[in-house]
Every structure is written in C-alpha cells, then in structure tokens.
Structure 1
Amino acid sequence: MSALDTQHVRAATPGDIEELIRLRSYLLEDAPSMGLPYAVTSPHQSASWREAYRDWLGKHLRGDGSISVVVVPGEGRLRACATAVVDQRAPSPACLSGRAGWVQSVVTDPRDRGCGLGSAVLEHLTAWLRARGVDEVVLQTTPAAADFYRRAGFLATGEDLLFKTLDTAGKAF
C-alpha cells in the first residue's frame, strides 16, 4: 500500500450511494455460494436489501459520529469501501470502556483486489475507531477473507457466531 493510495481513502458521500450498493452486492449476492446465513436468495431479497441499504446510507452518511463509511474512489467508480460502527456494550476485561467497534462490508471491486485497498480502508477505520475511544474491534469474516484479517491483527475468539432472524415485518419502531 503506497502513501498515495492511503491518502485516497475518504469518507463516503451521498453521491457514492449507488456505488456502495454495487460494491456491497459482491458480498451479499455472492454469499449463497459461500453458505453464509445473510445471503441473498431471491430477486425480492436483492431488491429489498438494496432499498433498505440505500435508506440507511442516506441517513448515516450525514455523520452522527457513531458510524463511518469510507471509500477509495477510482475513475468513474468506487474501488473499495468499508463501514465501522461504534457500539456501546457492557464492559469486559478486554474492553473496560464498553466501547467496541464493529467493522463490516469491507469490499474491494474484483478488478482491484490484491492492490492493498482493503488494507487501506481497514487501517483508516481502525484509526477512526481509536480516535473515538474504542477499546476493541470485532468483525465477522468469510472463509475467503479470514487470512486477510489475521494478517491485519485480528484473532479468532474461539466462540461461535450464532445467527437468528426475527420477524419484524409490518411493525413500527
């Protein structure tokens, strides 16, 4: 990763929303082949997550201080993106403040993989989280990306990540 590439990581803007959706689709819509529980399994699900993510980005790209979405721009497209969320949890020995960071949707366009862009966005978000007093960073990984995260200093916890979908359709929150 050159200093030039690292300097090109920037905060996402509302003008990036459609490209962020395109990049995230590489993760969510390729997930069925990886057997992941959050995989898109139908055209309806594809349309639904895209609409919900578009709305979520529209709300959170305004910068409330607890979420950061970063991108690496390219010629007419985004080359990579990642998201970090500051989460307040109960304190633990590893996280006395209870301030934990959750990193998600680290995606590099397939045309740009192997260029260090994933490392650049991850390093940028790690610095952003550290500046907000976050004591630990957690993420879930696909088998294909596990070595990448290990090289970045992430360790397996030995705990299983369990997943359950709750039916909240039609409920107002």
Structure 2
Amino acid sequence: MIDVRLAIPGDAPELVRLRRLMFHTMKGVDEPGPWEASAERLLRAQLAGEGAVLGACVVDGDPGDGGPHLAACAVGTVEQRLPAPGHPTGRFGFVFTVCTDERYRGRGYGRATTERLLEWLAGHGVSRVDLHAFPDAERMYRSMGFAEHSTALSLDVRRMGD
C-alpha cells in the first residue's frame, strides 16, 4: 500500500523541486529562475488555507535516500465558476503538477497521488476535473476515466498589443 498524504506548507520547497523536474521531463530543458521563489511563497500560503483552494497529495521519499524529500506529488486547484446544469456547485478542478522523482518511478506513485487528489477535489464539491496530459502519462489518465471534453483555446494576454 502506498502512503499518500496531503501536503503541508513545509512541503513547498519540495513541491517546487518536483514541478521543476516535471518541466524538465516535459520540455527537456531545466529552467531555474525567480518563478521558483514565487511558486514556493504561493504554495506555502495556499497550503496554509490562504487564497485559492489548492491541494497537493504527496508520497514521502525514503529517509535514507538523501535526507527528507518527496518522492511524488499531484497538485491541483478548485476554481469557482457560476453553477450550471450538470455542475450545480460551479466548482471545477484543474490538475497541473503530477511528478515522480526519477528514483521512485515505476512504483505507482503518480497514480496513487492523482487518485487521492481526485478524492480531495470531489470532497470540495468539484464536478469536473481538467488537466493537460504529457504524452507519456496520457494512458494512465485515460485509464482513470479522463477523456477529451472540448477544444481548448488559449490566449497569452502578455502578447496583446504587440
């Protein structure tokens, strides 16, 4: 059995480390920068219950394997929209960081943390959960019931007026 727990504010540095590892795995580029300190501050605050509803489910790494660290995480938020038919609470979830440290891959930690996060989201009245799947993880998400919902369109508002 995999011991998955809810993250606490003190887990913020490790959650940022795993997020950076996720980006490295997805893009093949390691991009440290000021975003890390901003992400850590935001995680600490939101895991303490300030601001948006954010949840993170984690698996602790082996203590003898380089000190205290996280082996895996799944992070998501609850977004409050207007209620609608089929979504009476108006609460939607978005999963945006699922990552397992290379030392722990192949043990089911990604699935376990994601399943626990989905339970947490459901407990917050969420009726639909969205995510962007990295091709290597798409099969896992589909086996959990994720499927195409609609065509997503995005706009980078920083580029407006260029």
Q: Into which bin does the TM-score normalised by the smaller protein fall?
A: 0.7 to 0.9
Identity value in percent: 36
Tell whether 2:18 aligns with 1:23: yes
Q: Tell me the amino acid that sits aligned with residue 51 of structure 1.
A: A
SS at match of 2:38: helix
* Corresponding residue of 1:97: 89
* Corresponding residue of 1:47: 33
Report how far residue 82 of structure 1 moved: 1.2
| Alignment gaps of 5+ in structure 2 | 63-67
Give yes or no for contact 1:84–1:103 (8 Å, CA) kept in 2. Answer: yes
C-alpha RMSD of matched pairs (Å):
2.2
User: Scaled by the length of structure 2, what TM-score is found?
Assistant: 0.82
Report how far residue 28 of structure 1 moved: 2.0
1:89-108 Cα offsets, whole Å, 9 max, x none, are 23444423311111110111
User: Scaled by the length of structure 1, what TM-score is found?
Assistant: 0.78
Q: Tell me the amino acid that sits aligned with residue 26 of structure 1.
A: L
User: 1:61 and 1:94 mapped to 2: Cα distance?
Assistant: 29
User: 1:86 and 1:61 mapped to 2: Cα distance?
Assistant: 13
Query: How many residues in Structure 1 have an aligned counterpart in Structure 2?
Result: 153
Q: Tell me the amino acid that sits aligned with residue 6 of structure 2.
A: A
| Equivalent residue runs for 1:54-65 within 5 Å | 54-64=40-50
* Corresponding residue of 1:10: 5
Q: Tell me the amino acid that sits aligned with residue 137 of structure 1.
A: V
- Against the structure 1 CA distance between its residues 155 and 92, is the aligned structure 2 distance closer, same or farther, given a 3 Å change threshold? farther
